[in-house]
Structure 1
Amino acid sequence: MVYWLFKSEPSTWSWDDQVAKGEIGEEWDGVRNYQARNFMRQMSVGDLGFFYHSQKERAVVGIVEVIAEAHPDSTTEDERWECVDIKAVKSVKTPITLDDIKADERLSEMVLVRNSRLSVQPVSAEEWQIICEMAGVSD
């Protein structure tokens, strides 16, 4: 299993929006960063990810599953940009803030801590387990 983190501004696309899409899920479109796009190219159906609200909230609020591998982003005709489709799996019991993550030494090497601007990023299996425990959920 490979784990990821998907960041979204709640005013643009919130966890509630993602949950409302149900089993059909939604494209994780609009990403215009090569590194984030390359991470999506590495994803496989069944991979799990944290859904992270950026801006003011800055917190992991849910868990999503990749349901379609990288394909052309429907929001542009530029062939360089691809996206995956994701669906909501479950909400976390306790949202885990960026401050919570930074306060835990075990998470000091997490991409979110080192490069918090990247909108799609990998999460190690150890980081995944730690945050799931903190959030009161099991994957």
Structure 2
Amino acid sequence: MTAPPIAPARLQRYWLMKSEPEECSIDDALAAPHATVPWTGVRNYQARNFMRDEMQVGDGVLFYHSSCPEPGIAGIARVASGTRPDPTQFDPVSPYYDPKSLADKPRWLLLDVQALRKTRLVSLADLRSTPALAGMRVLQKGSRLSITPVESEEWCEITERLLA
């Protein structure tokens, strides 16, 4: 009798997740219990699908401050849970309320993100001036997604060179 084949280990994945600092900054996340926050308010189907279909516990996250005077990477985090329905879609007083989303068939999901450390701000200008990062999705014209994949080479360039 032969042993069943061993499934190959899943490669580490990396993500850039945008948050407006007034809503949840890296400091807010670090101050939260267990430095973990629910990533609520995602209202783009592609970003939702990344969470639902591709993101897994342990994946690396570049915590990005957006819609602020100086946007950029402000910290390192990790995906800390699988997905579940985002309760803000059902709350009529929430800015993320979706009257078409039903409790028995929710449209929107969230997952928990655990902040690991605050970093120096790696600005959009820093990212743009680094040739090895020219292909990053966050730098592409018209890119507005709140969650984007980051290639392992890009992750290494940012964490080993820009944040060193």
Residue among 49, 72, 76 paired with 1:63: 76
Matched with 1:87 is 114
Structure 2: segments with no counterpart, 5+ residues: 1-11, 91-100
Structure 2 counterpart SS, 1:49: strand
Q: Which amino acid aligns with 1:117?
A: R
Q: Which of 95, 113, 133 is the equivalent residue of 1:107?
A: 133
Q: 1:4 aligns with which of 15, 19, 22?
A: 15
1:16 aligns with 2:27: yes
Q: Tell me what 1:134 maps to.
A: 162
Corresponding residue of 1:118? 145
Q: Is this contact kept in 1: 2:78–2:113, CA < 8 A? A: yes
Partner Cα separation in structure 2 for residue 9 and residue 116 of structure 1 = 16
Instruction: Give the counterpart letter for 2:163 in structure 1.
Output: A
Deviation at 1:40, TM superposition (A): 0.9
By how many angstroms is 1:22 displaced?
Answer: 3.8
Q: Deviations over 1:32-62 (max 9, x none)?
A: 0011111111111111101011122211010
User: 2-side partners of 1:130 and 1:81: how far apart?
Assistant: 32
TM-score by structure 2 length? 0.78
Shift of the alpha carbon at 1:116? 3.8
Q: Secondary structure at the match of 1:19?
A: helix
Normalized per residue, the structure richer in strand is 1
- CA-based RMSD of the aligned residues comes to 1.3
**One-letter amino acid of the counterpart of residue 54, structure 1:** S
Q: Which stretches of structure 1, 4 residues or longer, exceed 3 Å deviation after superposition?
A: none
How many pairs are equivalent? 135
Q: Hey, what does 2:89 align to over in structure 1? A: 76
Percentage of matched positions with identical amino acids: 42
Aligned pairs for 1:27-38 within 5 A: 27-38=38-49
Report the equivalent of 2:93.
none
Task: Report if the CA contact (8 A) 1:110-1:127 is conserved.
Answer: yes
Q: Residue type matched to 1:37 in 2?
A: R
Contact 2:35–2:115 (8 Å) recurs in 1: no
How far apart in 1 are the matches of 2:33 and 2:156?
25
Q: The residue matched to 2:50 in structure 1 has which SS?
A: helix
